[in-house]
Amino acid sequence: MSTAPAPSVGAAGGMPHPFRMPSGTSLRFALLILSTSTAMAAALGGAIGTAAYFTRGGDIGSLAGAIDCAARNSHQAIDPDKFTRACPQSFFGNQTALALATLGALWLAIGVVYWLLPAYRIRRRRLRPLPTDGLTDIRRTLDELAVMAELRCRVRYVVDWRDPAPNGLAIGRIGRRHVMLSTGLLQLHRRDPEAFRAIVLHELAHLRNRDVDIAFLTLICYRLFIVAVAIPIAVTAPLGLLVEWVLVPSGLLYQLLSVLAQCALAVTVALTSAAVLRSRELYADARVAVWTRGAPSLRRVLIAEHGRQRTGRSLPPFLRPHPPVEHRLAALSDTRLLFGFGPWEAFGLALTCSLVYQQVVQWTEEAARLTDRGGPLSAVLPAVALGGGVAMGIWRAVLAAWMNRGRWPDAHRTGLAMAAGLIVGTFGDHMHSTAMTLGIANPLPVQLSWWLILGGIGYGFVRWNAATARVWAPVVLAGRRPLLLVVAGCGVGVALLSVFLGHVYDAGAPGFPLLSLPRPLNLLPTPLDYLGYVFSTAFMLTPPLSVIALVVVTAGVPLAARTGARLFGPRRAQARTEGPERFLLQAVSVEDSAALLTVPRLRPVRAAAHGTLFGAAAGLGLWLWHLFCAVLFPWPIESIGAVFTYYQLALAVLLEIAVGFVVAWRHARGELRALHGIFGTLGAGLLLPLAAITARNHFACVRWGTGHAACRVMPDLEFGVWVIPMITTWAAGLALLLIPAWTALRDRQRRPPTPT
């Protein structure tokens, strides 16, 4: 679980309320369910398909023949019908039906075990109902605590007469809740009633938080995963590598990557299971602190427990089902620790969604009868699962930091982790793993180029959400329906993510057609061909109006924060009753409340104006350079123009990005300077592309005369109207990735050292 930073100097005195936003336990549990379902459906579905193949009479010889045929006809992989006729691959059956059937059987088994496990635990531990006679004082105390907890369910108390330690445990299923009290805990009621109340309240808090079912399902999923997935993977992975080495030696590297993806998924399930159990304990402590105004008795119990802790060997912190005592004490003092969202959660979500992306898209297309591959509608479900979880975690972390007038420090690392998760997940997804096995995967240089683009999308998504959440944080705190604003902000990001994922995953399909570059670049490795295709697509294919509208809306979301404050926020006179104090554990001063409701001041017009000014200067410099080359030294322009006919387009993109960096650097002391740099890039796109195009045209006019075919005395307006928006869009997309990364590294270098 990620930790929050220490309060900044001059911070507002309030701590965020742990139960005014979705809990971290729920987010981590959703990740666990997603990762477990992914692993079980993929691993067991493939195993069942392989078993069915051999049951129907298949053998190693026919399998080897199919792999050899696929390797010989890999040039036809881009045409599925022609490839299927050349090499029938129907021996594994309907993979979609097998995966869905496996998933249904998985959750049916988990549901049955969940329903029967509480009764089995009670019987195995020989727990007995709390006696109704002779324990009047304890009964009275338990009734008082149940009223304090505001429980809506009936609680049955059972006793473990064999446990002399003061322990409690909340167990049960829907409709039948139990709280176990040990003999030592009953005896503690007489010696230290306040400690007894603290321990019992902690168990009742689990019931109030409704996390008992989460704990049981987490334990069931984890153990079932170990038996059904982890052990089979450990047994079959060496055999799969051996078969790949014997049949298709060239695909051994890709098979290793597939095994790496499976191992990463196994680690994700293990760490997420432990994180869910640790998070529920911290939230139960927080609930007790809310009930008892700081939980002084619970603090005393935890301090005493910390003194009795064993010093021997134990599990690493990230695998323990219970948080260390010092962490629980720290969370009671600083509730921002409950809002942590860091690199590991983003990596796990991205890895899981990337592993099943192709399968989920196939199911979506079959269910909705979609015919356009790579469309945004095909990627809606993966984008919701991935983008919704990541965006909600980012908004929670940013809001918690804003309540103490601080910043979320993990944006850069979380973006890199999400990029890594998307990349590693492609090692084992259905389409790429099949292509790797059949030997028709793209060459490694092409894969590296595609992974670079895919990782850039993950990083940019995290940074956009972090910036948007920071600008909109005061509006959320003052809004009448704050959760609705958060969901709307997450939804805009998810919509944009579905567009990019749909196109990028389609471009990474095995056997993707490439555009050859002119000589001599066509003699270089294939990444240039692939990036050349992406570059040409960005400039030659105009995106649909719906995509352009979505991009414009997304870019305008941070700018609309001040308008949102006027539309969704209450009046200032109502701020103390309807404003940020709803999200704080204690009251704050009027000055701090007003500061929390102040929207960070963005200067997009000023940044765009600076970008236009610097872009005009860069365009003038480009003109002077072309004039110098035309009169005195033409070799550079002639040589580059012979290879890249439209080299001035790429030059305009690079100069626009450079202008964006200059604008961001000039706003180094301002809030959200990365956004200012992006707006500076957009401002440079007003004049600089036209200067780059006309500079090349007038170079030809000066060098070869006005009669030359490349000479355009007057700008080609039709060409400019068509190309300039494409140049600006492409430059802004790159700036969205590069400038936030630069600002994050700059902040890290300028951050003052932590005092020791």
Nearest CA-CA partner of 509 in 558, 447, 556, 559: 447
Per-residue confidence (pLDDT) for residue 659, from 0 to 100:
94
Question: Is the same domain home to 244 and 378?
Answer: yes
Question: Is the same domain home to 561 and 434?
Answer: yes
Per-residue confidence (pLDDT) for residue 224, from 0 to 100:
84
Question: Is the same domain home to 349 and 473?
Answer: yes
Question: Is the same domain home to 546 and 447?
Answer: yes
Per-residue pLDDT tens over the stretch 608-630: 999 999 999 999 998 888 888 88
Q: How much is the average pLDDT of 366-386?
A: 73
Instruction: Label residue 526 by pLDDT band (50, 70, 90).
Output: low
Question: Is the same domain home to 239 and 193?
Answer: no
Is residue 73 included in any domain, yes or no?
Answer: no
Indicate if the pLDDT at residue 523 is higher than 70: no
Question: Is the same domain home to 384 and 461?
Answer: yes
Question: Is the same domain home to 317 and 402?
Answer: yes
> 16 pairs with which residues across the strands?
584
Return the structure tokens found at 352: 């899981």
Instruction: Label residue 215 by pLDDT band (50, 70, 90).
Output: very high
> 129 pairs with which residues across the strands?
158
Nearest CA-CA partner of 661 in 648, 671, 672, 674: 674
Q: Average pLDDT of the chain? A: 77
Question: Is the same domain home to 357 and 382?
Answer: yes
Domain boundary among 538, 565, 592: 565
Domain boundary among 183, 215, 247: 215
Is residue 7 included in any domain, yes or no?
Answer: no
Question: Is the same domain home to 38 and 159?
Answer: no
Question: Is the same domain home to 196 and 231?
Answer: no
Taking the C-alpha atoms of residue 620 and residue 631, their distance in angstroms, rounded to an integer, is 17
Is residue 362 included in any domain, yes or no?
Answer: yes
Contact assessment for residue 581 and residue 588, using Cβ atoms and an 8 Å cutoff: yes
Is residue 253 included in any domain, yes or no?
Answer: yes
Q: How much is the average pLDDT of 462-468?
A: 88
Domain that holds residue 687: 603-750
Residue 156: its H or E element: strand 155-160
Is residue 365 included in any domain, yes or no?
Answer: yes
Indicate if the pLDDT at residue 68 is higher than 80: no
Per-residue pLDDT tens over the stretch 270-322: 888 899 999 999 999 999 998 988 888 898 888 887 666 555 456 777 778 88
Residue percentage of the chain with pLDDT more than 70: 73
Per-residue confidence (pLDDT) for residue 93, from 0 to 100:
46
Instruction: Quote the number of domains for the chain.
Output: 3
Question: Is the same domain home to 437 and 480?
Answer: yes
Strands annotated E in 304-432: none
Helices 193-209, 183-191: crossing angle, 10 deg rounding: 130
Is residue 572 included in any domain, yes or no?
Answer: no
Question: Is the same domain home to 382 and 410?
Answer: yes
Task: Identify which has the larger pLDDT, 269 or 548.
Answer: 269
User: 277-286, 325-334, 470-479, 510-519 — which is least confidently predicted?
Assistant: 510-519
Domain boundary among 162, 187, 215: 215
Per-residue pLDDT tens over the stretch 3-60: 333 333 333 456 788 888 888 888 888 888 888 887 777 666 556 655 555 555 555 5
Is residue 730 included in any domain, yes or no?
Answer: yes
Instruction: Label residue 98 by pLDDT band (50, 70, 90).
Output: low
Is residue 94 included in any domain, yes or no?
Answer: no
Indicate if the pLDDT at residue 585 is higher than 90: no
